[in-house]
C-alpha cells in the first residue's frame, strides 16, 4: 500500500498557503493530491482561505463572510509570506477546480465550518464538484460532526472524512455512525490498531500535518492512506529512498 502525498494548503512551506503559487509548486514538485480550506463569502462564493479572519494571510481585516468576492479580490494574499508573492490573490473554489481538472491530482476540500457553520456550504461545494465532474477524485472533510452528517448523503459519490485531533477509543465506530468513509487525524493519534480497525471497516486514514522525516517514515510504515504535508517534495523523495 502506497501512502499518498497530499500538499497541505499547497506547498505551503515555500509559497503562501492556499494560493495558486502554492498549488502550482505542489503540482510541479510531485504532490499527488492537494488539500485546501473552504470558506464562504457574503455573496455565497466558496473561496480558499484557512482562517475565518483575513488578518493573518492577507492585508485585509475582519471576516471572510462579511465581504463579497469582488471586495476580497483586491486583497494581497502573498506579502505576509514574502514580498515576492505580492500578486497572490484569494482564489475561488471554481478557479481551483478549473485548474486541477486536467491534472492527475486528488482533491481534498476541507470545509472550514467548525467555527462558522456556513449555511448550505456542503450542497454548494457538492454541486460545484458535480458540474466539473470531479466528485470521484474528491474527499470533503470537516471537523464539524454535524456537517459530516449532512455530507452523508454524498458518501457513495464523494469521500467524506471526519477530521479530528481528539483521542477516542471508539473513533472508527463514531466516524462511521456520522456517515464518514475516511478519517483525517492529527499525527499524534497514529497507531497501528486504529489503522487496522479503520481498514477493516473500509475507512481510509490520512494524517496531518506531517513535516518531519521521522513522522513521514512512521506513516509510510503504518500504512496510512495519505499524509498532509507542507513539504510534499520532501515526502516524495523520502518515500522513494525508503522504497515504500
Catalytic residue IDs: 8, 50
Name the minimum Å distance from CB 228 to ligand G3P: 5
User: Contact with ligand G3P (CB under 6 A): which of 121, 163, 205, 231?
Assistant: 163
Site for ligand G3P in 186-215 (CB under 6 A): 208-209
Q: Supply 209's cell numbers.
A: 500535518
Q: Contact, 49 vs 59, CB < 8 A?
A: no
Q: Supply 176's cell numbers.
A: 462511521
Residue with the three cell numbers 466539473: 132
Q: Which is nearer to Mg ion, 110 or 225 (CB)?
A: 110
Nearest to 77 by CA among 57, 99, 55, 61: 57
User: Contact with ligand G3P (CB under 6 A): which of 42, 50, 65, 176?
Assistant: 50
Name the minimum Å distance from CB 37 to Mg ion: 4
Q: Contact, 113 vs 52, CB < 8 A?
A: no
Name which of ligand G3P, Mg ion, none residue 196 binds, using a CB cut-off of 5 to 8 Å depending on partner kind.
Answer: none
Measured between alpha carbons, how far is 198 from 50 in angstroms, rounded to an integer? 28
**Is residue 17 a contact residue for Mg ion (CB under 5 A)?**
no
Q: Contact, 110 vs 38, CB < 8 A?
A: yes
Name which of ligand G3P, Mg ion, none residue 19 binds, using a CB cut-off of 5 to 8 Å depending on partner kind.
Answer: none
Q: Contact, 42 vs 68, CB < 8 A?
A: yes
Name which of ligand G3P, Mg ion, none residue 27 binds, using a CB cut-off of 5 to 8 Å depending on partner kind.
Answer: none
Binding mask 105-144 for Mg ion (x = CB under 5 A): -----x----------------------------------
User: Contact with ligand G3P (CB under 6 A): which of 3, 5, 7, 8?
Assistant: 8
The closest residue (CB) to ligand G3P is 208
Entry field: residues in the chain: 244
> At 194, phi and psi to the nearest 5?
-60, -45
- The H-or-E segment that residue 22 falls in is helix 20-28
Q: Which is nearer to Mg ion, 34 or 129 (CB)?
A: 34
Q: Contact, 49 vs 57, CB < 8 A?
A: yes
Looking at the chain, the number of H-run helices and the number of E-run strands are 9, 9
User: Contact with ligand G3P (CB under 6 A): which of 37, 76, 122, 230?
Assistant: 37
Measured between alpha carbons, how far is 96 from 7 in angstroms, rounded to an integer? 14
Site for ligand G3P in 110-149 (CB under 6 A): 110, 141
Positions touching ligand G3P (CB under 6 A) are 8, 35, 37, 50, 110, 141, 163, 184, 208-209, 228
Positions touching Mg ion (CB under 5 A) are 37, 110
Amino acid at each position: 500500500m502506497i501512502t499518498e502525498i497530499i500538499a497541505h494548503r499547497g506547498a505551503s512551506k515555500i509559497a503562501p498557503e492556499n494560493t495558486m503559487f502554492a498549488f502550482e509548486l505542489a503540482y510541479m514538485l510531485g504532490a499527488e493530491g492537494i488539500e485546501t480550506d473552504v470558506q464562504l463569502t457574503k455573496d455565497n462564493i466558496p473561496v480558499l482561505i484557512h482562517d475565518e479572519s483575513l488578518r493573518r494571510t492577507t492585508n485585509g481585516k475582519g471576516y471572510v463572510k462579511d465581504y463579497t468576492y469582488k471586495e476580497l479580490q483586491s486583497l494581497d494574499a502573498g506579502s505576509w509570506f514574502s514580498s515576492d508573492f505580492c500578486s497572490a490573490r484569494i482564489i475561488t473554489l471554481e478557479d481551483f477546480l478549473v485548474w486541477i481538472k486536467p491534472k492527475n491530482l486528488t482533491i481534498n476540500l476541507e470545509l472550514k465550518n467548525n467555527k462558522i457553520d456556513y449555511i448550505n456550504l456542503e450542497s454548494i461545494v457538492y454541486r460545484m464538484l458535480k458540474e466539473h465532474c470531479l466528485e470521484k477524485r474528491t474527499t470533503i472533510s470537516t471537523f464539524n460532526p454535524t456537517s459530516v452528517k449532512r455530507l452523508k448523503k454524498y458518501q457513495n459519490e464523494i469521500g467524506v472524512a471526519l477530521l479530528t485531533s481528539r483521542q477516542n477509543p471508539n473513533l472508527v465506530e463514531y466516524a462511521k455512525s456520522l456517515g464518514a468513509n475516511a478519517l483525517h487525524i492529527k499525527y499524534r493519534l497514529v497507531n497501528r490498531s486504529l489503522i487496522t480497525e479503520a481498514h477493516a471497516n473500509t475507512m481510509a486514514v490520512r494524517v496531518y500535518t506531517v513535516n518531519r522525516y521521522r513522522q513521514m517514515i512512521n506513516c509510510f510504515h503504518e500504512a496510512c492512506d495519505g499524509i498532509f504535508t507542507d513539504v510534499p517534495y520532501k515526502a516524495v523523495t523520502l518515500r522513494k529512498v525508503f522504497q515504500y
